[in-house]
Structure 1
């Protein structure tokens, strides 16, 4: 989400103001695009993100840290919130580690001042690139 509204990551450019969970609107320094094998990604189903299961699947790096809050964080880590690699939650159904070596594009957001928590789907926050 930007201060100008929702935009696909492919349209984000240097100078865009991105709304972050931890610091409000932050200026985007750059977007890097990596080509990675499919097996380096996880697919998160919409039913993980909201109880009605509306929306699209989210693809993200298996090593990307996502913010877990509430009862899940309390049960799994004894904390109110935790940053955890997405692959640690792969269950094969709702969060699936992809298979294969087909090339996939992975977009990373970079900020000058720090790493931030960026909303990447309904109820899903992930860390930006360092």
Structure 2
């Protein structure tokens, strides 16, 4: 009987994208020009480097462990308009926040909080994707291209960007599908536990996420902290 070589274990990166499918690219991301608050003061997100320490809402200064960038072109947005960035006008959330015009990818989550969210969701602070915010001054914009930038810490963090609290990268199954194999392998090298479903589940969200189906108009307009 001929020798049969043992089957190789599935590549944890490739297993996210069966049959060679292209990345989903719906990952939560910042765009160039967003000012992230670090130990050195505000820094454009595109100038962050691994090891920089960013201010977090829950855990003080935390080092950036990984940074990923995805170039988006006009043809990407023409093929998938749902990937177009969301524009947030300076002051759209009141009290002068955000401190300047900013753009986020549609699935990038922002921290919102007030009595309405507490009553509706029994949590005062929740995360809401930019595409679900209905505040005046927030809307999807046409774009001929941009760079979507994401960075990751040792845990999912709430970080300060353009004066508002928003999220760092969270390696959920869906978000990992949104990046290329090379970036996934980089993450798995830094965080080997994320190769398993249990490891990804352990890297929990900093706050509960409110989805579009759960939102009411009043909750979607909740003030950003």
Instruction: Quote how far apart the aligned CAs of 1:119 are.
Output: 1.0
Which runs of 4 or more aligned residues in structure 1 lie more than 2 Å from their structure 2 counterparts after TM superposition?
A: 36-40, 49-55, 71-79
Q: In 1, distance between residues paired with 2:131 and 2:116?
A: 16
The alignment partner of 2:87 has SS state of strand
1:62 aligns with one of 106, 123, 128 = 106
- C-alpha contact (below 8 Å) 1:33/1:105 kept by paired residues: yes
1:11 is matched with which residue? Answer: 47
Q: How many residues align structurally?
A: 126
Residues 53 and 116 of structure 1, relative CA distance in 2, 3 Å threshold: closer
Instruction: Quote how far apart the aligned CAs of 1:12 are.
Output: 0.9
Any idea what the Cα deviations from partners look like across 1:78-130, whole Å, max 9, x if unmatched? 53111111101146x41111235x2211111111x2111111122x2111112
Larger RCO (CA under 8 A, 6+ residues apart): 1
**Higher Cα Rg, which structure:** 2
- C-alpha contact (below 8 Å) 1:64/1:127 kept by paired residues: yes
TM-score in terms of structure 2 length: 0.50
- C-alpha contact (below 8 Å) 2:89/2:98 kept by paired residues: no
- C-alpha contact (below 8 Å) 1:42/1:95 kept by paired residues: yes
Instruction: Quote how far apart the aligned CAs of 1:19 are.
Output: 0.8
2:147 aligns with one of 82, 105, 113 = 105
Residues 52 and 25 of structure 1, relative CA distance in 2, 3 Å threshold: closer
Q: In 2, distance between residues paired with 1:69 and 1:3?
A: 25
**Structure 1 unaligned blocks of 5 or more:** none
The alignment partner of 2:64 has SS state of strand
**Structure 2 unaligned blocks of 5 or more:** 1-36, 171-225
The alignment partner of 1:55 has SS state of coil
- C-alpha contact (below 8 Å) 2:157/2:168 kept by paired residues: yes
Q: Higher helix proportion, which one? A: 2
1:83 is matched with which residue? Answer: 127
2:62 is matched with which residue? Answer: 26
Aligned CA-pair RMSD? 2.2
Residues 54 and 80 of structure 1, relative CA distance in 2, 3 Å threshold: closer
**1:116 is the counterpart of 2:157:** yes
